[in-house]
Structure 1
Amino acid sequence: MTVSTLPPLPRLLLEPIVRNALLEDLGLAGDITSNAVIPADHRSVVVMAAREPGVIAGLDAAELAFQLVDTAIVMNRNVMDGATVEPGDIIATIEGPSRGLLTAERTALNFLGHLSGIASVTARIVAAIAGSKASVACTRKTTPGLRAMEKYAVRAGGGMNHRFALYDAVLIKDNHIAVSGSVRHAIRRAKTGVGHLVKIEVEVDTLAQLQEAMEEGVDAVLLDNMTPEQLREAVHFVAGRAITEASGRINPQTAPAIAASGVDLISIGWLTHSAPVLDIGLDFKSQG
């Protein structure tokens, strides 16, 4: 097993999320099926295996689901988060009381499949723009309550994270500009309203807005729904004075041309809000 260079999320952050998911499943009576059907002293060995190709993310959450149900359950990993798997590859072997294995199974697979799906689609975009200078970034379009985990999954797939929330950076979007009256007014107000360590990015739809933003001075510009030709012109105009970010209807087919425009970042909301689950199964290997 190789050692992952991807820093894990703290257990302190993961545990409340996983615990709440288990509580949602267990309700007020617990796993009445397993408790009725499976003897209390029955033990099993199971494996989690990939049923389609992809990139793994979420092993800590999956393991925590089993451990919170029964501390006697032990999970041994064959791969680490960020690893590429093929159909049939064994991801982990888990052994312990059969009741606990069955009780935690769905919660563990829900987290692992969802997060691995995000990592997998991120890796597809990263591969599609290989050779360009652009990086792939996620957005705040995340599942409520799962943002830290989903953004972690983007990192597992080779992407990077945009701001995590409303508090860690200024992003002036079209509606802010509409209320403020202009790009210029919005930027000036932002600069007087935040501290010197806070970065400011502004979304622009046209090259005229971009010129206004650069005259005021910002750290980054979000070039929204521009064609590759417009992006190329925008990158030339910015000339390294700010980070350039392309956004809007980007997919594996359109990403290469967008990256070739010379932008620094490609931000994609569907990485987290619409990624399909990676099919991972749990199979019993021995029982006793």
Structure 2
Amino acid sequence: MTQQAPLPDLILEPLVRAALMEDLGTYGDITTRTVIPAGTQYMARLCAREAGVISGLRVAALAFRLVDPELRITPHVTDGSRIAPGDLLMEIEGAAASILSAERVALNFAGRLSGIATLTAAFVAQAAGTPTRITCTRKTTPGLRLVEKQAVLHGGGFNHRFSLSDAILIKDNHIAAAGGIRPVLRAVKAGASHMMRAEIEVDRLDQLAEVLDEGGAEVVLLDNMDTPTLRRAVAMTAGRLTLEASGNMRLERVAEVAATGVDYISSGALTHSARTLDIGLDF
């Protein structure tokens, strides 16, 4: 299990509140209001229906609490835990109407985030035995970046930048618009804060040679390089810069890329292509 400091409810609440408002619509849960007698009390159990790594349980619990602060919620595992089919994840006790009204939002968050954590854990397992770290990208669901990146941490991965303001990341389009690698690196050296790290993307070894000669970046993103080229890039750099391999980083390729000696493997698939983990709630 990967232990990570949880995001505070102050940050999570706007995300969960927006999801609840979307689901409850303009008139609330009319099905529950119509068919469930007032005052009905129940115990509901949130259970895993397949194996994986859990994430989003705190978000799910917040969904229930926002609908009804009187619900009694008992977690049985923590985010970052490995789970097996049938494992009891959480119990929710109280007004049946409240549980039913929050159910879908809670399950959507828990299933989505657990899927990300589970896929991340699979990537991390492929890099086992090497110092290479698995990291995500900014290819996240709009509005959900914080919780999706937290799910990557729960899966044993690491986070790339959270926003455009976190670090300087010079991509191919920046290089094209600025007139080349040397002009952008000189601009970084001339104008960037001493507190700001800079990363630059290259897709050829001659570009890497320019970066090594010019200086001005601490990290190089090796984009869409095949494995032999990545190996040559590691040898060229000889530890002078941090190297991140990105592009076409499929699960089945992670082990061979990690073996080249790159410091990081980044994959947008961790967040944009993760399959939702099957989690259910039953009375």
TM class by smaller structure: over 0.9
Q: Distance in 2 between matches of 1:46 and 1:191?
A: 58
Partner of 2:14: 16
Separation in structure 1 between the aligned mates of residue 214 and residue 10 of structure 2, nearest angstrom: 42
In structure 1, what is the Cα distance between the partners aligned to 2:269 and 2:222? 17
In the alignment, does 2:190 pair up with 1:192? Answer: yes
In structure 1, distance between residues paired with 2:71 and 2:214: 58
| 1:167 correspondence with 2:187 | no
Name the amino acid aligned to 1:259: A
CA distance in 2, matches of 1:109, 1:193: 47
After superposition, give the CA deviation of every residue in 1:251-280 in whole Å (9 maximum; x if it has no partner). Answer: 221000000000000000010111110000
Aligned residues with identical type, % of pairs: 54
Q: C-alpha displacement at 1:190, in angstroms?
A: 2.4
Quick check: 1:115 aligned with 2:92? no
Aligned residue for 1:94, secondary structure, equals: strand
C-alpha contact 2:243 2:263 (8 A) present in aligned 1? yes
- Post-superposition shift, 1:72? 1.1
1:31 partner letter: D
For structure 2, the 5+ residue unaligned runs are none
SS in 1 for 2:255: helix
Show structure 1 runs of 5+ residues with no match: none
Match of 1:237 in 2: 236
Partner of 1:53: 51
Which amino acid letter does the alignment assign opposite residue 207 of structure 1?
Answer: L
- Which residue of the partner structure matches residue 85 of structure 1? 83
1:132 aligns with 130
**Residues of 2 paired with 1:52 and 1:167: CA distance?**
38
What do residues 2-23 of structure 1 show as CA deviations (whole Å, max 9, x unaligned)? Answer: 9x73100111110000000000
TM-score by length of 2: 0.98
Verify the 8 A CA contact 2:64 2:99 in the aligned structure 1.
yes
Counterpart CA distance in 2 for 1:82 and 1:5 is 6
- Using the alignment, how far apart are the partners of 2:162 and 2:26 within structure 1? 34
How many residue pairs get aligned? The number is 282
2-side partners of 1:178 and 1:146: how far apart? 31
Listed one character per residue, the Cα deviations across residues 159-197 of structure 1 (whole Å, up to 9, x for unaligned) are: 000111100100000000111111111111123332101
Q: Residues of 2 paired with 1:216 and 1:136: CA distance?
A: 28
TM (norm. structure 1) is: 0.96
1:194-226 Cα offsets, whole Å, 9 max, x none, are: 210100000000000001111222110000011
1:132-151 equivalent positions in 2, closer than 5 A: 132-151=130-149
Following TM superposition, the consecutive aligned residue runs of length 4 or more in structure 1 with deviations greater than 4 angstroms are none
| Contact residue 3 and residue 154 of structure 2 kept, 8 A | no
- Paired with 2:3 and 2:249, the residues of 1 have a C-alpha distance of 28
Q: Distance in 1 between matches of 2:115 and 2:257?
A: 23
**1:5 and 1:174 mapped to 2: Cα distance?**
36
Separation of aligned partners in 1, 2:190 and 2:74: 53
Give the letter aligned to residue 262 of structure 2. V
Which amino acid in 2 is paired with 1:19?
R
| 2:101 aligned with 1:103 | yes
- Give the aligned partner of residue 3 of structure 2: 5
Letter in 1 for 2:259: A
Q: What secondary structure, in the 3-state scheme, does the structure 2 residue paired with 1:110 have?
A: helix
Deviation, 1:94, is 1.0
Work out the CA distance in 2 between the residues paired with 1:35 and 1:117: 32
What one-letter code is carried by the residue in structure 1 that aligns with 2:30? I
> What does residue 182 of structure 1 align with?
180
Residue identity matched to 1:249: N
User: 1:227: Cα distance to partner?
Assistant: 1.1
* Structure 1 equivalent of residue 213 of structure 2: 215
| Between 141-150 and 183-192, the greater mean CA deviation after superposition | 183-192
* Amino acid paired to 2:221: L
Q: In 1, distance between residues paired with 2:96 and 2:57? A: 20
Distance 1:178 1:49 in 2: 51
> Partner letter of residue 101 of structure 1?
I
2 CA distance for matches of 1:251 and 1:50? 26
Shift of the alpha carbon at 1:241? 1.0
Is contact 2:167–2:198 with CA below 8 Å preserved after alignment? yes
